[in-house]
């Protein structure tokens, strides 16, 4: 949690904190597969193959130093264990310039940003 702020929850993690269903197409059989936004994969009910929900590389929990507090340690550890996020990948993520500007305005530390 940021100093001086209580229960800060970034909008980028809302899909994990308040999941909604999304429809994906099974690459094996073409059937529709419902995967909730807090899930990484789901088994296709038609053919039994696993359908993986690809994540945007700018997904904030992959690089944000407050991700564990924001989505909860249990969910963060679950995503680490599933390979959805990686501690090593944090250094490789490129944060979009507009997001960096917003983070500076809110006094949020930017990983890898020299002050």
Tens place of pLDDT per residue across the chain (115 aa): 444 444 556 777 777 778 889 999 999 999 999 998 888 789 999 999 999 877 654 467 777 777 888 888 888 888 888 777 777 655 566 677 777 787 788 777 776 665 5
Contact 12, 37 (CB under 8 A): no
Residue-number span of the structural domain to which 27 is assigned: 11-105
Asked if the structure places residue 113 within a domain, the reply is no
Asked if the structure places residue 31 within a domain, the reply is yes
Q: What is the C-alpha to C-alpha distance for residues 26 and 35, in angstroms, rounded to an integer?
A: 11
SS3 62: helix
Report if pTM > 0.85. Answer: no
Q: What is the C-alpha to C-alpha distance for residues 95 and 109, in angstroms, rounded to an integer?
A: 12
CA 65 vs CA 1, 2, 46, 71, 82: distances in Å? 10, 10, 40, 12, 19
Total tally of structural domains belonging to the chain: 1
Asked if the structure places residue 111 within a domain, the reply is no
Asked if the structure places residue 50 within a domain, the reply is yes
Q: Is residue 63 classed exposed, middle or buried when 0-12, 13-18 and 19+ CB atoms within 10 A define those classes? A: buried
Q: What is the C-alpha to C-alpha distance for residues 11 and 60, in angstroms, rounded to an integer?
A: 9
Asked if the structure places residue 110 within a domain, the reply is no
Asked if the structure places residue 114 within a domain, the reply is no
Asked if the structure places residue 87 within a domain, the reply is yes
Asked if the structure places residue 79 within a domain, the reply is yes
């Amino acid at each position: 949690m940021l100093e001086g702020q209580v229960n800060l929850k970034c909008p980028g993690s809302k899909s994990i904190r308040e999941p909604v269903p999304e429809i994906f197409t099974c690459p094996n059989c073409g059937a529709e597969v419902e995967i909730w936004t807090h899930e990484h994969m789901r088994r296709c009910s038609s053919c039994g193959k696993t359908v993986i929900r690809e994540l945007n590389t700018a997904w904030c929990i992959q690089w944000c130093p407050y991700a564990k507090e924001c989505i909860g340690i249990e969910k963060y550890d679950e995503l680490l264990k599933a390979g959805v996020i990686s501690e090593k990948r944090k250094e490789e993520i490129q944060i979009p310039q507009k997001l960096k500007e917003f983070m500076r305005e809110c006094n949020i530390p930017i990983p890898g940003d020299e002050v």
